[in-house]
Each structure stands twice: as C-alpha cells, then as structure tokens.
Amino acid sequence: MGTAACGLPVSSATSVELLSGGARTFDVIFDCIRQARDHVHLEYYIFEPDTIGTALRDLLIERAREGVTVRLLLDALGSKRIGRKFMAPMREAGIQVALFHDTRIGRRLRPVINYRTHRKIVVCDGRIGFTGGVNITDEEDARIRPDAYHDVHLRIEGSAVRWLQTTFIEDWTYATGEPLRHVHKAIDSMFPRVEAEEGVGDIPVQIVTSGPDSALEAIHRIQVDAIHAAEQRAWLTTPYFVPTEPALMALTSAALRGVDVRLMVPRRSDSLVVSAAARSYYDELIAAGVKIWEYKARMLHSKTLVVDDSCAMIGTANFDNRSFRLNFEVSAVIYGPALTGALVAQFQTDLRNASPVRANRRQTFPRRLGEASARLFSPLL
C-alpha cells in the first residue's frame, strides 16, 4: 500500500540506529558530514542561526572548501531567521542554498502559511541517511538548553538511503527550478551501487513521503493501516495529536478488540490550542481502552509508531491534519524487529517522566469549554 500511495518501494538497510535526543543526533550527523567525500545534502524545516546552527554552517563551509558538494534546502517560513548575512559565508564557500516556498512578497503568488516542507533529511555520499523529528536549533540540544525538546531521530545505512536521496532531489528541483539534467553528471555518486559493493541489507525499510502534491495521503494511510493490522500493541508518540476520523477510529477499534494501544503526548506543547484540542479526544479514547500518558519533563517532540514486533515508524509527521494533508513529510517504515525493540524501550523509558491520564478527569467548565472550542479548529491544526 505504501508503494502504491507514494511510489517508493520497499528497500533494505544494512543498519538502522535510533538516536535519542538532539545532542546524540547532532554528534552522529556532524561525524557523518566530516567523513563525507563526495556530497552532503540537507533539507530542514527549522534551521536557526544559533549555537548549533552556526556550528553546522561552519562545518559545511569547511567541507565545501575541501571539495565536498553541499546542497542545503530550507523551508522559508520555518527557517525565517536565516538571513543573507548568515548565508553569505556559505555561498562564498560554494555551498548551494535554496529556500522552499519563498515567503518574500513578490517572489511567488501562492499560499505561504501552508504547504511547507516539514522534512528533515540528511544524506552523505548517498550511503548514509538521516530523518526524524530533530531540527537544527538549540531547542533540541540539552547541552545548551536544559529545557530542550525530547526528540528522536534515525540513522540509516544501505540501499534504502537512495529513496531519501530521491526525495531530496525532487524537493531541490522543485524549489530551485533546476532541471535534473544539471545534476546528471553527479547521478552515479548520488546513487552509488550499494548492493554491489556492500551487499544487500537484511533490514526491510520503506521510505514513505506525502504532501499536498498528492491526494493519496500516504503517511496517513500507512499509519492507519498499521494500527488496523495490530494484534498485540500499537504505541504512538506524537507532539501534536489532532486525529482525523479514520485515525481516531483505528485507535479506538484496535483498543476495543484487545490490542494494547498507548498514546504519549506532551503535557504542554508549544501550542495551547493544539494541546486543548488533543485533550478533547481523551474521554473517547479512554472509554475504548486506549492508555494515555502526558510527558511532563520537557516538550515531547518525538514522532514514532510501533506495531507488534513487525513494524516501526519514525519520521517528521505529527499525528494531525496538517502533517497528513498540508505539509511535505517523510517517514521511514522499518518492517520486522530491527527497530521495534529500540522504540519499545524508548517508550518505556519515557514513561518514567510521564503521568497517566485517568478516566473521569475532573475539569472545570471553562477548561471543558476551551477544549471543545479548540476541537472545532481540528481540521485546520
């Protein structure tokens, strides 16, 4: 179904590694960039000109001066604080920088609030790729900010990386208007013969993409389908929980047939309206048997789903209408037990910093009214 919905087939990886926390994620990504020999491709929704953003910029400049081709694609709205002064040293070093859906007046006549690239992609030499929830910002690094977001990311090595590469190149071509033939000479280096040189990996991985350019809503469909297929468990972590009717039905139906359905959301997200809307679904979920926890230590930003021991998903998409229908998103689906154990362990670790939501919650009338009002805006959140 994933292949039919987004056009990308199931591939394989020689290794997949769950990276817990922005600090660990940045360390691994920076190390991979240092070892790149041909090219580094990066696509981000948020890239801030702060400590971590400046460190990454300077590393990319260093590698570009050493002959590595660097392309950086940033969402114009999510990375709006990146200005010409910050980018100038990159351009001088030969780094190619592009903005996705430029928001400046007169540059394009199309909606700029919606239709953002929410994707986080790094590809080094076409062999190692990264995706997940971590943006380039100090808000993700606990070494810099004690209140940093709690997040996870994924490192993939093997032939499945070619589909992250394909996604990046399509986005780059769309954003820049640069015909693919302009990068044709580099195609062999962008898509190395991983299978021939290193052997086919034994971990089935499917890169799934979705966005407003397709009405098939691939990530939405594959998550709903996976929950419907669950037999033992379906554990979902998301910072923004505003489910569609099919998604809500999938969760409650799974719980009603005896599946261990668990949901973890932040106690307080960075949007009061979204938090209120999420809580408006609690009573219905709990009545069906869904167990809900609110992560209280910090802002929870992880976006994962683990189903039985057969399917694990990690990516950029939240469990809401905006990610399912309005943003350009990407997720990695790992079939089999290669990642499910790590995600189960991560979920259980996170429970130590979470509080269960009880049935028959005591709420004041103003709170109930606020949640009900926020739910009216669910299709827009």
Predicted pLDDT at 30: 98
Q: Measured between alpha carbons, how far is 38 from 36 in angstroms, rounded to an integer?
A: 6
User: Tokens in use for 368?
Assistant: 């109930």
Task: Say how far residue 306 (Cα) sits from the centre of its chain.
Answer: 15
Cα torsion 322, 324, 330, 331: sign: positive
Backbone φ and ψ for 148, nearest 5 degrees, come out as -60, 150
Q: Where are the domains of the chain?
A: 22-149+160-193, 210-380
Decide if pLDDT at 178 tops 60: yes
Work out the pLDDT band at 35, boundaries 50, 70, 90: very high
Q: What fold does the segment set 22-149+160-193 form as a domain? A: Endonuclease; Chain A (3.30.870)
**pLDDT tens profile 235-287:** 999 999 999 999 999 999 999 999 999 999 998 776 677 677 788 899 999 99
Alpha helices (H) along the chain: 2-6, 22-35, 51-65, 84-92, 161-176, 187-190, 194-198, 218-229, 245-256, 272-279, 282-288, 321, 340-350, 365-376
Which residues are known catalytic residues?
A: 118, 120, 125, 301, 303, 308
The pTM of this model reads: 0.92
210-380 sits in which CATH class? alpha beta
**pLDDT tens profile 339-363:** 999 999 999 999 999 999 988 767 7
Decide if pLDDT at 312 tops 60: yes
**pLDDT tens profile 41-53:** 999 999 999 999 9
Specify whether the CB–CB gap between 271 and 239 falls below 8 A. Answer: no
Query: 3-state DSSP call for residue 277?
Result: helix
Tell me the pLDDT of the chain averaged across its residues: 90
For the residues 81-100, what does the mean pLDDT come to?
A: 95
